[in-house]
A = this chain, B = another copy of it.
Amino acid sequence: MSDRAHSDRIAILGAGLIGAGWAALFFHHGLDVCIWDPKPEALADVEARMRAPLAQLAEVAPGAGPRGTLTLCTDLAGAVNGADLIQENAPENIPVKHALYAQVEPLMADHAVLASSTSALTWSDLSPGLQKPERLITAHPFNPPHLVPLVEIYGTDPARLERAETIYRAAERVPVRLRKDATGHIANRLASALWREAVYMVQEGIADVEAIDAALVNGPGLRWSVLGAHMAYHLGGGPGGMAAYLSHLGPSQERRWAALGTPTLSEQVQADLVAGVDREAAGRSITQLEEHRDKALIAALRARKQAPHV
């Protein structure tokens, strides 16, 4: 369990899937959470939608300390006033977020951090129009946010970045900082790059959708859950590490990069992808697959507590 020396207050703006996940996470880890949503019906059932994430969090970290408090806020000022971290989960739409920030900024404390969960947009998209753009950071969680520890962070004020990271760590997240604002942050760039080749192999008939997924999950995916890609090549170099790897195998990697493909999402490729995941799902609904994923993630997270990743 995180230490409770801090008494940070968190405002969650938006009670959808991501907002409810954040709320469950911070509440579970002993922080005081106010959650606001412009739609009263979203707010009305957020506690019900937090039940499953909270039960999962109890499995990941059983015996965690006292929970925080949860307040449902029907007005924005009630959530934002006195908050140290304001986690924004509005729709992925620049004008919508700008309009919300125009309301939030006069209400927020000067020391507070306005953190956007945005996946598709960047800090440079979101900061124009703010009175004090240094109060904004992007803080992108990876789905499902209460289970996957990564939070990718970009901002311009080192002190605020550090304060935000301290709060995320208190909720057992792993904040990772970008040096430069970039579309897709880090993780979705990696995911896109990998999926491009995965789709290319389907397009070229090299392997079936479900074979590619099985190879990933039982091969590099498993290894990347304990060891980063750079570090894997460091070990691949033997006693000489990365320097030896680059001198022996750098040129063959460059040749391999040149041979990778870029597919087109043609009607045929789309049909192959849809048919492939259907075979792989083997009759399981999206909900069942998500439950299955979450159970496996919880087991993997518990394993990590015994033997941490490299």
Contacts and interface: CB of A to CB of B under 8 A. Distances in A.
B190 A223 contact: no
Contacts of A290: 235
Interface residues of A, number: 110
Contact of A228 (B193, B214, B241, B304): B214
B193 A211 contact: no
Interface stretch (A25-33, A95-103, A110-118, A170-178): A170-178
B303 A192 contact: no
B228 A217 contact: yes
Contacts of A235: 286, 289-290, 293
Contact of A246 (B225, B265, B292, B298): B265
Nearest to A234: B277
Contacts of A178: 206-207, 211
Which one of A197, A198, A204, A280 has the highest number of Cβ atoms from chain B below 10 Å of its Cβ?
A197
Contacts of A225: 217, 221-222, 224-225, 300
A148 interface: yes
Main SS of the interface on chain A? helix
A219 B296 contact: no
A224 B226 contact: no
Contacts of A229: 191, 194-195, 198, 212-213, 216
B195 A196 contact: no
Nearest to A262: B257
A195 to B, nearest CB: 5
A236 B192 CA distance: 13
Interface string A14-53: 0000000000000000000000000000000000000000
A246 B310 CA distance: 35
Contacts of A238: 286
A176 B218 contact: yes
A109 interface: no
Interface string A249-283: 01111101111101011000010011011001100
A253 B187 contact: no
Interface of A: 120, 142-143, 148-150, 152, 174, 176-180, 182-198, 201, 204-236, 238-239, 241-243, 246, 250-254, 256-260, 262, 264-265, 270, 273-274, 276-277, 280-281, 286, 289-290, 292-293, 295-304, 306-310
Given A150-B219, A178-B211, A216-B229, 4 more contacts: A186-B212, A216-B224, A221-B223, A227-B293
